Amino acid sequence: MTGSRSIDLHGCNRAEAIRQFVDFYNDQVRSGYQGFIEVVHGYGSSGAGGVIKRELRKYLEANVDRLEMFIPGGGIGNPGVTKVYPKKLLPEIRDDIGSRSGFASAAILTFCETARTKEKIIAKLRGRFGDRVLCEEINRLVRDGRLRDLGGKLVGKTGP
């Protein structure tokens, strides 16, 4: 990655696009960058929004507590661009980020930076993902060692 404050995701599939965005974003946060990141994703062949645009914005919404803010392109006159003002590192992602469970995993890990009970996690995130997806993802994250059980409370590992 270069020192550029812009990333172009054209030509990526949705999983590659989100992974490249997260890597670029985290590099900018680690470098202490205070400005905005311009994410060029295009607006889709229909003009109503392509897959990358939709998935990126869903991911940003799931991690809004880690961003100063994000501005969808319509607000800046270009629907094929999203501006992101970084604040904190985003969680590392798995290959399934484009799926509903991938977004649930990212949201769970973000929420569990501070130890939380399983019940609190579900109560907080149920509106976005539903109980079944959350229970499956919590169990998978514990099995994979990405969530640790500290006597009834779960805490996530978001870094390498």
Q: What is the pLDDT of residues 4-13, one digit of tens each?
A: 489 998 888 8
Cα torsion 67, 24, 22, 7: sign: positive
Q: Give the pLDDT confidence score for residue 62 in this predicted structure.
A: 83
Q: What is the pLDDT of residues 61-88, one digit of tens each?
A: 888 888 887 777 666 678 788 899 999 9
Please name each of the domains of the chain with its CATH number: 6-86 (3.30.1370.110), 100-156 (1.10.10)
Q: What is the pLDDT of residues 48-66, one digit of tens each?
A: 668 888 888 888 888 888 8
Q: What is the pLDDT of residues 33-51, one digit of tens each?
A: 988 999 998 877 665 668 8
- Distance between CA atoms of 141 and 81, rounded to whole angstroms? 32
Cα torsion 121, 122, 127, 131: sign: positive
Is the entire prediction scored with pTM above 0.85? no
The Cβ-side half-sphere exposure at 123, using a 13 Å CA radius, reads: 5
Hey, which bits of the chain come out as E strands?
6-8, 37-40, 67-72, 81-86, 116-117, 147-150, 153-156
Between vectors from CA 63 to CA 61 and to CA 67, what angle results, nearest 5°? 95
3-state SS class at 150: strand
- Mean of pLDDT values over 114-135: 87
